[in-house]
Amino acid sequence: MSFSTPDLCDAHPDDVHVVTDLNWHSYGGRATFGGPIETVKCFEDNSRVKEILAEPGQGRVLIVDGGGSRRHALIGDEIAARAADNGWSGVIIYGACRDVDVLPGIELGVMALGAVPLKSVRRGEGQVGLPVSFGRVLFKPGDWVYADANGIISAPRKLA
Is residue 15 assigned to a domain?
no
Q: Output the pLDDT for position 122.
A: 87
Domain that holds residue 64: 24-129
Question: How sure is the predictor about 145, in pLDDT bands with cuts at 50, 70 and 90?
Answer: very high
Question: Does 1 have pLDDT greater than 80?
Answer: no
In a domain, 142, yes or no: no
Backbone angles phi, psi at 94, to 5 degrees: -80, 75
Q: What is the pLDDT of residues 21-71, one digit of tens each?
A: 889 999 999 999 999 999 999 999 999 999 999 999 999 999 999 999 999
Say which residues have a Cβ less than 8 Å from residue 27's Cβ, sequence separation at least 6.
Answer: 97, 100, 103, 104, 110, 111, 112, 115
pTM here? 0.97
Does residue 55 sit within a domain?
A: yes
